[in-house]
Every structure is written in structure tokens, then in C-alpha cells.
Amino acid sequence: MVNTAPAEASGTSCDKWHRRLAAAIAVSETQLKQLQADKARLPERINVAGLSDYRSFNAIDNEGKNLFDFVTSSVWNVRRQLLD
């Protein structure tokens, strides 16, 4: 079926949606710029040497890395044995 509604009536509905979406995008972009400015003010690294109590900072563990290295080496060793 062909839309027989007048162009003005359908245009206002589209314009309403367009204005609402444009306003939502503008608000989101403003929030994004504010968050990026907040992030830019944060230090890149935190020096814990001067802190007396830094229990809230967790030391980076190597357990995951060691497990990944073990699995990778196992896969390569099996591959090499299959090819030989």
C-alpha cells in the first residue's frame, strides 16, 4: 500500500524523532567529553612507594601468564610430535 498521508504530517513525526535523537546524541557526546577530560586529569601511574598502607592495591600475579605459557608450550610440543 502507498502512504497517502500528507507530507507535512509524516514530516513532523520524523522531525520530532530526529530532534529527540539529536538531543540524546548531544547529551551523550557532552558526557563523553566530560569523562575524557576527567580521565586526562588522572595520573598515568600510581607511585605506592610513598604510601604507608597500600593493601588496597593488589600485586599483579603471574599465575595466569604461567598457565598460558604452559598450555602454549604443550600445544606446540604435541604439534611437533605429530609432525615428526
- What does the pLDDT read at residue 55? 66
Does the pLDDT of residue 57 top 70, yes or no? no
- 64/72 Cα distance (integer angstroms): 12
**Cβ atoms of residues 32 and 23 within 8 Å:** no
Ranges of each domain in the chain? 1-44
- What does the pLDDT read at residue 56? 63
